[in-house]
Structure 1
């Protein structure tokens, strides 16, 4: 099985989001966090999380990038249970069974996004379109190594 995992190349997430996910946390898009939010009323860091953040499932902080990683079934089930508890405690799910259904749906969605090769990097753009929140996911290509400039040439003696 595969799932999304947070990754951090620099410290920018710690400055742009209200809370940054730690590197290596399992992650979901986390759009449910903004289901009842009014984007115009979000502060600068919350707007950044809305626009570009994946939700880490350890800290419930945000990450700009995720990578596709393998996950064992037991750990997958534990992540579902952890998210279900969070949905019950932080979002008022009526009971654990209802929270677990929602958690399985959210994590299943993240798993569907993980159908790329392991170590593929993904980014997210989230925006309002009409009355709906829309998401766009993009595969991030690592920068190619630039060829070195030729500064001299060896020519044989004539």
Structure 2
């Protein structure tokens, strides 16, 4: 069985508006729920609340992404993700050192890996909610329509030769049945 991990993906620019810091497309990702441990979730508002509700955490930028895509990874890439996350836990979260941070990073990456039991290029979305006694996470998959998309990509680009194509004109008033 191939090793798979989630990578951030940006299908439109909305992440740059809804999060205070958006992850860059193509970053390895984890859920990032640990950033909300001990937080007063009810007091979160705006972009922080959106990150809580629907954000995956990009490991490199510590920015948020609404969607991730299941991606094949090598053992070396996985090890590098664990190491980078451990470094981030020290630099951004106050972990006392890499030795203390590595087991936590390993656990986060292992959980992210467990979410990727889907074919490559499957999109994953996350929803978090505050419930007693803690936080509940639910995940959903967004599958491509095989008849509309190429099998190896999240979306397909169609090249159009506008010089040789006839221009199509539509008379909206006629379609609406009006003569004005």
- TM-score by length of structure 2 reads 0.77
Q: State the match for 2:88 in structure 1.
A: 86
Post-superposition offset of 1:41: 2.4
Larger RCO: Structure 1 or Structure 2 (Cα < 8 Å, ≥ 6 residues apart)? Answer: 1
15, 18, 22: which is aligned to 1:16? 18
Deviates further, 72-81 or 106-115: 72-81
62, 68, 71: which is aligned to 1:69? 71
Q: State the match for 2:156 in structure 1.
A: none
Q: State the match for 2:125 in structure 1.
A: 123
- 1:109-120 matched pairs, under 5 angstroms: 109-120=111-122
Please report the RMSD computed on the Cα atoms of aligned residues, expressed in angstroms: 1.5
- 1:89-104 matched pairs, under 5 angstroms: 89-104=91-106
Q: Pick closer, same or farther for the CA change 1:17–1:88 going to 2, 3 Å.
A: same
Gapped regions of structure 1 (runs ≥ 5): 147-158
- What SS is found at the alignment partner of 1:134? strand
Aligned residues: 146
Q: State the match for 1:141 in structure 2.
A: 143
* Distance (whole Å) between structure 1 residues aligned to residue 4 and residue 102 of structure 2: 19
* Distance (whole Å) between structure 1 residues aligned to residue 62 and residue 85 of structure 2: 9
* Distance (whole Å) between structure 2 residues aligned to residue 128 and residue 39 of structure 1: 7
- TM-score by length of structure 1 reads 0.88
Which of the two has higher C-alpha Rg? Answer: 2
